[in-house]
Copies of this chain bind each other. A is one copy, B any other.
Amino acid sequence: MPQKISENIQDYLKRIYEFTLSGGRASTNQLAQALGISAASVTNMVQKLSKTEPPYLTYEKHQGVKLTAFGQQAALKIIRRHRLIEIYLVEKLGYTWDEVHAEAEILEHAMSSLLEKRIDAALDHPKFDPHGDPIPDINLEIPEIEQTALSSLKIGNKGHVLRVPNEDPQVLRYLGKFGIRPGAHIKLISRTPYDQTMRIKITETGNEAIIGPSLGKKISIAKDS
């Protein structure tokens, strides 16, 4: 029977979902680090989660874990709530995009189905959170969006920002200062040959920003014309 699902289990599932988005398996160490607990504890918990009825994930020794369809639904449910909260806080309570992640991380576990419905309705069924991450709909479907990494832009080419999936408030404030946010139009000015650091221009604000290579890979854009 589908037992009640505790907060930390939700956190495990969410992390595993994120780590396996690109198809692979999530490793014990990865999860331990992301969850801020020891690797031994992770091994222990994933063994349990692979033995529930139905199981949340499949586990093979030393091979990492992968969510079952059941586990994925559970993960998407939390992710939906997380992202709904984020956009609600920004739209209705004056939060900035760097403040909402930490808040949502806690509130997501306290959100009832009714509250989820009401917030979804109050925002007219939003499709994206403040960072441009897609919000799974009521059936937990995620809209597919075509997107490229900012770092793949050619010099002189233009694009507009789709996603800035970074939880770090410092980074978000830095980007926000230049006007880099979902929807912003940008143009790649230059790139250093050595480490691929980019200089980009933001159309809306006229600012120029320096973006390092790792951040450049995380920011998703659509290429314009």
Contact = CB atoms under 8 A, between A and B. Distances in A.
Interface of A: 89, 92-95, 99, 103, 106-107, 109-112, 114-115, 118-119, 122
Contact of A112 (B103, B109, B112): B103
Q: Which of A94, A103, A122 has the most CB of B within 10 A?
A: A103
Nearest to A108: B110
Given A92-B92, A94-B118, 14 more contacts: A89-B115, A89-B118, A92-B122, A93-B115, A93-B119, A95-B118, A99-B114, A103-B114, A103-B115, A106-B110, A107-B107, A107-B111, A107-B115, A110-B110
Nearest to A95: B118
A106 B113 CA distance: 13
Nearest to A102: B112
Contacts of A95: 118
Contacts of A112: 103, 106
15 contacts: A89-B115, A89-B118, A92-B122, A95-B118, A99-B114, A103-B112, A103-B114, A103-B115, A106-B110, A106-B112, A107-B107, A107-B110, A107-B111, A109-B110, A110-B110
A106 B118 CA distance: 16
Contacts of A114: 99, 103
A111 to B, nearest CB: 8
Contacts of A110: 106-107, 109-110
Considering residues A89, A93, A107, which has the most beta carbons from chain B within 10 angstroms of its beta carbon? Answer: A93
A95 B117 CA distance: 11
A63 to B, nearest CB: 36
Contacts of A106: 110, 112
A99 B115 CA distance: 11
A106 to B, nearest CB: 5
A107 B106 CA distance: 10
> Which of A89, A111, A118, A119 has the most C-beta atoms of chain B within 10 angstroms of its own C-beta?
A118
B107 A93 contact: no
A72 B115 CA distance: 30
Contacts of A93: 115, 118-119, 122
A201 to B, nearest CB: 34
